[in-house]
Amino acid sequence: GQSLEQPSEVTAVEGAIVQINCTYQTSGFYGLSWYQQHDGGAPTFLSYNALDGLEETGRFSSFLSRSDSYGYLLLQELQMKDSASYFCAVRAADSWGKLQFGAGTQVVVTP
């Protein structure tokens, strides 16, 4: 089977840096995605890692280590609007079209 683990909540102040870790277990692996979801809103795509290393998109970066079955999302220069839930999601080799999501990390940004 497949499983993903990520922290349930992280709190930080504006301007700080937050790292959300995600560990996964899956039979075969294609890639790790990150999505952001504000309360009552639709999940929106942030990043995708298929290969080891760091992907940077503006204030957000995502990292993957395939050998460690581990990834993280780095949020820099936190802003109040970054308060949301963040989900890691795995695309497994035995289920090409299926995206399995973690339970999500609630990021709370305080002034």
Residues that bind other proteins (CB under 8 A): 30-31, 33, 35, 41-45, 48, 50, 87, 89, 91, 95-104
Buried/exposed code over 25-49 (b: 16+ C-beta within 10 A; e: otherwise): ebeebebbbbbbbeeeeebeebbeb
Minimal distance, residue 106 CB to other proteins, in Å: 9
Considering the complex, state which of residue 8 and residue 67 has its C-beta at the smaller distance from other proteins. 8
Name which of 82 and 102 has its Cβ closer to other proteins: 102
Report CA torsion sign: 96, 43, 55, 73: negative
CB of residue 4 to other proteins, shortest distance in Å? 8
Nearer Cβ to other proteins (7/31): 31
d(Cα 84, Cα 82) in Å, to the nearest integer?
6
